[in-house]
């Protein structure tokens, strides 16, 4: 219903897109369809579903009505044609790459990424015979020359974790377009309220819905949204989408499903065989969260901006990397890429280095010391001793996770309380 009317505003779509009153009961809120399987009308119906000739529900590893609402909602908010939800953000990254890659293929990726993604791309994907080439995405010539005949995608984050960096998505999508390969943007830190990567040329958008989209730190989840704009048949680089699929009697996904090819492949092959499925309970929590996304993001950004300004003036702090500050080298990209604000994640360097950071983290009372971000509550982590621990010193530095740096995810609590908490903890750290 609502997805046919994309002229609705963001605040309306975050509540209504993909949802309709339950046809059986009239339930206004989307029910949690806690069911593994769905009864076929008759044998012909079952055959049509299995042949992908008809869209419907078979088995919840593939599709579930609660998860389907969430898929449509996120796809609508991102301006894409379809979405596939899965069990975590990291699952979403594999689900995004899986249809594109083959053994021997590579993906060109930004050095400024979530620490877990650096590990997934530099280590684990090698087991599939894939590889990642890490490049500084501010060096456009380096991005171009990293692309070779085996490159199947470019990958970056819009607002990059651990914070302070915004990717010039327009410049990067010009490069991916020229090379005839898709651009995948992880939009977790920005959310579609702050940034819509498809409007800047992204082919696919991936999310860890664990973070702001759910917004309350309850469930992990991920989503891959397809813009529907990439021509998978323009070259022979993407046979999973353009060539006959043996498991479906030689059907070609792109020829059959057009702009929905990537989404159908994600469900009919990706979820079917990789099984990284989101469960309906998780979808429910995330649907609840998304209803208030815009309101929360406004407060997240406002608190982050004011706290970054306060910290920048504090003599116990060496520097603050928040792209919303005029001192940031990425300040000019805010207006272009994420005009509603630079997000709520940033890092700051504490005078006194590693030891002072540990003391700061242990002294805070409202801020929680956790390996998470995008929660309604304020969070802090010392990346060098935790999330970025597996990285080399150079990788830590490149990712903005040096030993004297802490990362904060600013929540939506009262600003005055957050300042007071940081103030007392910084005093203890400096002592
Ligand atoms: C958390 C996160 C991920 C991984 O998501 P999970 O849900 O933890 O698997 C990927 N990218 C970014 C930017 C993240 O913040």
336-364: pLDDT as tens digits: 999 999 999 999 999 999 899 999 999 99
Contact status, residue 299 vs residue 114, Cβ threshold 8 Å: no
pLDDT digits (tens, 9 = 90+) for 376-400: 999 999 988 887 777 788 878 777 7
Dihedral (CA of 336, 337, 339, 343) sign? negative
Please indicate whether residue 373, judged by its CB atom, sits closer than 6 Å to ligand 1.
Answer: yes
Residue nearest to atom 1 of ligand 1 (CA): 208
Please indicate whether residue 211, judged by its CB atom, sits closer than 6 Å to ligand 1.
Answer: yes
pLDDT digits (tens, 9 = 90+) for 210-251: 999 999 999 999 999 999 999 999 999 999 999 999 988 899
Whole-number Å distance, alpha carbon 156 to ligand 1 midpoint, is 13
Mean pLDDT throughout 182-205? 98
Tell me, yes or no, whether 61 and 37 share the same domain. Answer: yes
Please indicate whether residue 375, judged by its CB atom, sits closer than 6 Å to ligand 1.
Answer: no
Per-residue pLDDT at 395: 77
Tell me, yes or no, whether 272 and 350 share the same domain. Answer: no
Contact status, residue 220 vs residue 282, Cβ threshold 8 Å: yes
Peptide bond into 162 cis (omega under 30): yes
- Let me know if residue 2 belongs to a domain: no
The domain that holds 190 is classified in CATH as: 3.40.640.10
Tell me, yes or no, whether 323 and 413 share the same domain. Answer: yes
Which among 164, 155, 117, 165 is positioned nearest to 135, based on CA atoms?
155
Tell me, yes or no, whether 249 and 358 share the same domain. Answer: no
Q: Which of 242, 261, 289 is the last residue of a domain?
A: 289
Q: Which residues of 343-361 are buried (b: 16+ CB within 10 A; e: fewer)?
A: bbbbbbbbebeeebbbbbb
CA distances from 125 to 106, 199, 210 (A): 10, 29, 22
Mean pLDDT throughout 24-47? 94
Tell me, yes or no, whether 331 and 426 share the same domain. Answer: yes
- Let me know if residue 1 belongs to a domain: no
Location of structure tokens 């609590």: 413
Tell me, yes or no, whether 64 and 186 share the same domain. Answer: yes
Which among 189, 228, 191, 225 is positioned nearest to 205, based on CA atoms?
225
89, 379, 387: which to mutate for ligand 1, most atoms within 8 A of CB?
Answer: 89
Mean pLDDT throughout 97-111? 97
Tell me, yes or no, whether 274 and 362 share the same domain. Answer: no
Cα 167 to Cα 109: distance, rounded to the nearest angstrom: 12
Contact status, residue 95 vs residue 276, Cβ threshold 8 Å: yes
Q: Domain tally for the chain?
A: 2
Residue nearest to atom 2 of ligand 1 (CA): 208
Cα 400 to Cα 321: distance, rounded to the nearest angstrom: 9
Domain that holds residue 179: 10-289
Whether 110 has a pLDDT exceeding 70, the answer reads yes
Mean pLDDT throughout 171-177? 98
161, 223, 278: which to mutate for ligand 1, most atoms within 8 A of CB?
Answer: 161
Mean pLDDT throughout 160-173? 91
Please indicate whether residue 384, judged by its CB atom, sits closer than 6 Å to ligand 1.
Answer: no
Which among 138, 65, 147 is positioned nearest to 105, based on CA atoms?
147
Per-residue pLDDT at 392: 84
Per-residue pLDDT at 188: 97
Report the predicted TM-score, pTM, of the whole model to 2 decimal places. Answer: 0.95
Q: Which of 237, 266, 289 is the last residue of a domain?
A: 289
Least confident of 90-104, 197-211, 239-253, 380-394: 380-394
Cα 132 to Cα 153: distance, rounded to the nearest angstrom: 10
Q: Is 273 exposed, middle or buried (0-12, 13-18, 19+ CB in 10 A)?
A: exposed
Tell me, yes or no, whether 85 and 199 share the same domain. Answer: yes
pLDDT digits (tens, 9 = 90+) for 256-294: 999 999 999 999 999 999 999 999 999 999 999 999 999
Q: Which atom of ligand 1 is nearest to the CA of 374?
A: 15
Q: Which of 289, 312, 335 is the last residue of a domain?
A: 289
Tell me, yes or no, whether 310 and 410 share the same domain. Answer: yes
Tell me, yes or no, whether 87 and 136 share the same domain. Answer: yes
Whole-number Å distance, alpha carbon 48 to ligand 1 midpoint, is 36
Phi, psi for 261 (deg, rounded to 5): -55, -45
Tell me, yes or no, whether 279 and 419 share the same domain. Answer: no
Please indicate whether residue 167, judged by its CB atom, sits closer than 6 Å to ligand 1.
Answer: no
Tell me, yes or no, whether 340 and 239 share the same domain. Answer: no
Band (1; pLDDT cuts 50, 70, 90)? very low
- Let me know if residue 3 belongs to a domain: no
Please indicate whether residue 116, judged by its CB atom, sits closer than 6 Å to ligand 1.
Answer: yes
Please indicate whether residue 88, judged by its CB atom, sits closer than 6 Å to ligand 1.
Answer: yes
97, 211, 401: which to mutate for ligand 1, most atoms within 8 A of CB?
Answer: 211
Whether 103 has a pLDDT exceeding 90, the answer reads yes
Contact status, residue 32 vs residue 284, Cβ threshold 8 Å: yes
The domain that holds 422 is classified in CATH as: 3.90.1150.10
């Amino acid at each position: 219903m609502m997805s046919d009317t994309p002229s609705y505003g963001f605040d309306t779509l975050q509540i209504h897109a993909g949802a309709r009153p339950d046809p059986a009961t009239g339930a206004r809120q989307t029910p949690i369809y806690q069911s593994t399987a769905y009864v076929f009308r008759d044998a012909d119906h079952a055959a049509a579903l299995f042949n992908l000739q008809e869209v419907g529900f078979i088995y919840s590893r593939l599709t579930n009505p609660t998860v389907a609402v969430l898929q449509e909602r996120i796809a609508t908010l991102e301006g894409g044609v379809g979405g596939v939800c899965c069990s975590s953000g990291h699952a979403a990254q594999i689900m995004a790459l899986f249809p594109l890659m083959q053994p021997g293929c590579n993906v060109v990726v930004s050095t400024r990424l979530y620490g877990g993604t650096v590990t997934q791309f530099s280590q684990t994907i090698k087991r599939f015979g894939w590889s990642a080439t890490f490049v500084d995405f501010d060096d456009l010539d380096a991005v171009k020359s990293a692309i070779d005949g085996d490159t199947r995608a470019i990958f970056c984050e819009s607002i990059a974790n651990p914070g302070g960096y915004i990717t010039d998505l327009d410049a990067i999508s010009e490069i991916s377009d020229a090379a005839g390969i898709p651009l995948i943007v992880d939009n977790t830190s920005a959310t579609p309220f702050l940034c819509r990567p498809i409007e800047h040329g992204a082919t696919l958008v991936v999310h860890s819905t664990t973070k702001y989209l759910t917004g309350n730190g309850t469930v992990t989840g991920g989503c891959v949204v397809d813009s529907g704009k990439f021509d998978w048949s323009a070259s022979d680089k993407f046979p999973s989408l353009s060539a006959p699929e043996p498991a479906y009697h030689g059907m070609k996904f792109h020829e059959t499903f057009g702009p929905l090819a990537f989404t159908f492949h994600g469900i009919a092959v990706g979820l079917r065989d990789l099984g990284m499925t989101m469960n309906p309970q998780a979808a429910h929590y995330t649907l609840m969260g998304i209803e208030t996304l815009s309101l929360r993001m406004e407060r997240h950004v406002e608190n982050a901006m004011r706290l970054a300004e306060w910290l920048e003036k504090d003599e116990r702090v060496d520097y603050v990397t928040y792209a919303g500050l005029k001192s940031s080298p990425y300040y000019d990209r805010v207006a272009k890429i994420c005009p509603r604000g630079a997000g709520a994640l940033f890092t700051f360097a504490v005078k006194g280095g590693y030891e002072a950071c540990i003391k700061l983290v242990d002294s805070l009372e409202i801020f929680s010391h956790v390996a998470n971000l995008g929660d309604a509550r304020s969070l802090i982590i010392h990346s060098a001793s935790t999330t970025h621990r597996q990285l080399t010193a150079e990788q830590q530095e490149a990712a903005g996770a040096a030993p004297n740096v802490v990362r904060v995810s600013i929540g939506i609590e009262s600003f005055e309380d957050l300042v007071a908490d940081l103030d007392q903890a910084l005093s203890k750290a400096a002592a």
